[in-house]
Structure 1
């Protein structure tokens, strides 16, 4: 009888502690280089800095449903989750003077709502965005 009692308590605790999909998204996300696709850039001197910059992007999703994107420029705003997508809504557009050079990641998240598809395991977010140089696919992987 006792083992059944402890099993019942453990089951109740597990159900009570289950996280919502939104709660599982909270944390740090970093760029997955293998899943990120960058178009060919016709100016050879920009290729390497652009690739390095996009691969150093970090996004933090906070439990209060705000986010902070850190590339050379910081973009903050609110995020929400619905039906397999995360929507990022920047709080305000950063001052153009704050954009260091061509900040690809910040420009993807600046001044517009961005939607990212969440994979079924809830471990990667994929943003596909048209930019002046072509389509960029930015894949973020949950890192903590």
Structure 2
């Protein structure tokens, strides 16, 4: 898992760090601690790269579980975003990715084709996500 986390750090964690630093540089947010920014990026790492049946699903389930470890940090990070547009970008991404984790969990279909959130549900998330209460509401519905 440490090797996987290191891979995710370089593949996606650095994106979270860069997003935080850019948002701070433009005065949109206070600079988040690096651990929170990295955790947000790690959470968004693509989970679809393993190829082979039962072992793949077992690995996928481990990856989903590992990603869920970062949710609390993601919620802290998102709740600190004060600019409404930046907040919505982070909050919508967070809800969508948590929804994808639910779809991915224990799902062999990931390795046989595309598994994605229904467009109507995605549109609903985008339309309804404006506050932190909306984020918690979306998570409690899933």
Work out which of the two has the higher radius of gyration on C-alpha atoms and give 1 or 2. Answer: 1
Q: Looking at secondary structure, tell me which structure has more helix per residue.
A: 2
